[in-house]
A and B are shown apart, each in its own frame.
Chain A
Amino acid sequence: MRLGVFVSDLRGNEEMLDRLEAEKLGVFLVENGIYHAVIKEDGKSSPVIRKEDAEYYVLTEDLQTRGFTSFEVDSKVNVVTYSDMVDLTMETYEKLVWL
């Protein structure tokens, strides 16, 4: 299964995300989920972006709305536009879920 997972909150996603497994797993950080890509609480990366076998994406529009730029994004995370995200969800992932 090629699974795309949307994370749109700052809190409460880690446990479920940790349990999800897929042949290809993509995590889309949108809305308040973008904080996982830029904030290092107590100097540590968010547990949401610590899954080794996952591909991470952050939506640039949501990032910039909240006062961040792509330069501040963790190197594990790909910065994508809304249009890129539509392409990814249509072509790369066959199932999509929203945590």
Chain B
Amino acid sequence: MGKEILFVVSRPPYKSENPKLAITHAMACYVADIHIDEEVEPIVAFVGDGALNCLKNQRAQEFYGLISTEQHIKNQLASDMKMLVCKEDLQRFGIKEEQLIDARDMGAEVDLEVVYFDEVLKEMERCNQVMFF
């Protein structure tokens, strides 16, 4: 059985590198197994202020000249990565599910999963390693 790593993003996008680092580290798991001879399954969970990363229509390329956090999330969804976002935090911010990023235009078959924080806690327990960003 492979290794499961949970990346928990708890900060909003852009002011710090942390959310993007979490996503790129998660992406790197897909190639890590070549080197460690073990399958690695990354999961990303957006909680607290980190839920703000999941809003669509981010225009970072236009204003900051950066690939947006939205694009990073879309790339992972298109790779079938499991990505969770905390329902209680979305409700706290007044964010509706239709405002969330999806990667259907890239052919993704999975969406961001809106889950209660209890589900994130269960993932923390289930996964071999947990990292907070």
Interface residues of A (CB under 8 A from B): 8-11, 31-32, 35, 39-43, 61-62, 64-69
Report the bound CA distance from A70 to B15 in whole Å.
20
* Residues from chain A with Cβ under 8 Å of B60 in the complex: 65
A65-B58 CB under 8 A given contacts A9-B15, A10-B12? yes
* Residues from chain A with Cβ under 8 Å of B55 in the complex: 66-68
List 5 A-B residue pairs with CB atoms under 8 Å apart, sorted by A's residue number: A9-B15, A11-B49, A61-B63, A62-B63, A66-B55
Which residue on chain B has the smallest CB distance to residue A32? B15
B70 at interface, CB cutoff 8 A? yes
CB distance from A39 to the nearest CB of B (A): 5
Which residue on chain B has the smallest CB distance to residue A11? B49
* Residues from chain B with Cβ under 8 Å of A31 in the complex: 14-15
Partner of B14 from the list A11, A32, A42, A68 (CB cut-off 8 Å) is: A32
Report the bound CA distance from A30 to B94 in whole Å.
21
B92 at interface, CB cutoff 8 A? yes
CB distance from A81 to the nearest CB of B (A): 11
Partner of A65 from the list B14, B93, B99 (CB cut-off 8 Å) is: B14
Q: State whether A66 touches B52 (Cβ < 8 A).
A: yes
Which residue on chain A has the smallest CB distance to residue B100? A67
Per-residue CB contact flags for chain B residues 89-109 toward chain A (1 = under 8 Å, else 0) read 000111000010000000000
B24 at interface, CB cutoff 8 A? no
Which residue on chain A has the smallest CB distance to residue B49? A10
Partner of A66 from the list B13, B62, B92, B94 (CB cut-off 8 Å) is: B13
Q: State whether B15 touches A39 (Cβ < 8 A).
A: no
Q: State whether B12 touches A32 (Cβ < 8 A).
A: yes
B72 at interface, CB cutoff 8 A? no
Report the bound CA distance from A68 to B55 in whole Å.
8
Q: A31-B15, A65-B63 are in contact. List 14 more A-B contacts (CB 8 A).
A: A8-B15, A10-B49, A39-B52, A41-B93, A64-B63, A65-B14, A65-B58, A65-B68, A66-B13, A66-B55, A67-B55, A67-B57, A67-B58, A67-B99
